[in-house]
Every structure is written in structure tokens, then in C-alpha cells.
Amino acid sequence: MPAFDWSENKSTKYRWLVYGVPGAGKTTLAGMLKGKTYLLSLDDSFHRIKVWQNKPIWAIDPEKPIEDLTEFVREFKPEEYDNLVIDNVSNLQKLWFIEKARDSKTGLDNKIQHYGEFTNWLIRLISKLFSYNINIFVTAWEKQVKVTDPSGQEFEQYAPDLRDSARDYLMGNCDVVARMIQKPQSGERGLIMQGSIDTYAKNRLDDRKGCKAEDFFKKVSDK
């Protein structure tokens, strides 16, 4: 099966999740989406990226992220765009816990119930955004998580940096989950699109196991 050309299927909308270390090129990759794109920036990392200059952007207020995202959902008009980029849900997680910790005696500590509250809150947010009839591209940082296989063997696997239940919900609702990497010598960026014992990835759109960054949104005949 050749690389899938989502741009030829306007009646169907797609969900991608790309994760990697900071600076891997995830925000730049998101700028390669075809059509009219809106950026929901959750980490303010777009400023020095040329592709996002003079584009419609909502930069989250780090002092009140929960209230600010509520306002975004109320104000955003998905019918006016082809794509929505949700840039860095990992940073959103950190901002959420910082805001909640302000209610503690020290202003620094999170309560046990906050962890379950965050998972439920993020799932509701993702469910709402994914209900829009547009393409959704999500980015996250990466971390290594401990996984146990059916035989009981434990190993470390790369995955998006989110709490387990929220991460699994997000990955389960995406057509493609890919890990973005960069070769240290050449600087070439690429995406791993097939899962393995050490990397979580999946591709429900075509049979590619990986690709160069510039080919992520291209079909075979475009190359």
C-alpha cells in the first residue's frame, strides 16, 4: 500500500500525534500541513520558526492555562480552518499542575486528587477538540516508560510525555503516532512510524515504517 495522500480525501479528517525531544523539529513539521492551519501553542515555541510568522496563533497564558483554554474552545471557529495544531501537550500538563499547586499551603505541592483530575480534564479537552471536523496535529515531548510484556519481561519504551491514562487515550484516538528523531551528525530529521520493543508508534493510514520529515505529508508520487 503506497503512502496515504490525506489531501485527496477531504471528507475524512485525520489525527496525528508526533513526539520527540525538545528541538527535534515538531513545530516546524506542523507548519508543513496543507491548507489553512491554526496553531494552538502550549509552550510558546513558535516565535523563531519562520513558517509560523503571520499565521493565526493562540498562545496559551501560562499564568492561567485552564481558564485560557476554556476561552480558546469558546472562541475558536473550526469551520474556518483545514487544520488545528495542538503544540506540546506535555508542557500543558506541567502548566496545569503548577496552576493547581497554587492552591496548596506552600503554593508548590500538588494534592493526590489532582492527578486523577488532570487525566479527566485532558481527556475532556482532547475529546472536544477531536470532535472538530478538521485535521488535528498534536505534538508532545518524549520520555521512556517501563513496559511489561506477556512473558513478564520488563523493558523501557519511548512514548509521549503524558500521564499514562491521558497518553493512552490520546494515542488511541490518533491515526498516526510517530517519534521524531534527528541524526546528530547530519542534522537530518525523520519519523519512526512503526512500533517496536523500544518505541511506541503506529500508522493506520499506509504501510510506511518511517520517513524523512519533509515527506511526512507526501504521497509516493510527490517524491
Q: In this structure, what CATH number is given to the domain that contains residue 118?
A: 3.40.50.300
Kindly state whether residue 193 falls inside one of the protein's structural domains: yes
Q: Where are the alpha helices (DSSP H) in 77-223?
A: 89-101, 112-130, 164-172
Kindly state whether residue 177 falls inside one of the protein's structural domains: yes
Residue-level pLDDT, tens digit, the chain, 223 residues: 555 555 555 557 999 999 999 999 999 999 999 999 999 999 999 988 999 999 999 999 999 999 999 999 999 999 999 999 999 999 999 999 988 887 766 666 777 777 779 999 999 999 999 999 999 999 999 999 998 888 888 989 999 999 999 999 999 999 999 999 998 888 899 999 999 989 999 999 999 999 999 999 875 434 4
User: Can you give the pLDDT at residue 220?
Assistant: 43
User: Can you give the pLDDT at residue 148?
Assistant: 83
Model's pTM, two decimal places? 0.90
Q: Count of domains in the chain?
A: 1
Kindly state whether residue 190 falls inside one of the protein's structural domains: yes
All residues at 6 or more sequence positions from 42 whose CB lies less than 8 Å from its CB, including other chains? 60, 65, 86, 87, 88, 89, 91, 92, 95
Kindly state whether residue 6 falls inside one of the protein's structural domains: no
Kindly state whether residue 104 falls inside one of the protein's structural domains: yes
User: Can you give the pLDDT at residue 113?
Assistant: 77
Burial of 195 (0-12, 13-18, 19+ CB in 10 A): middle
- Report which DSSP code applies to 25: S
Kindly state whether residue 100 falls inside one of the protein's structural domains: yes
β-bridge mates for residue 85, sequence order: 39, 137
Range of the domain at 115: 15-222
Kindly state whether residue 103 falls inside one of the protein's structural domains: yes
Kindly state whether residue 154 falls inside one of the protein's structural domains: yes
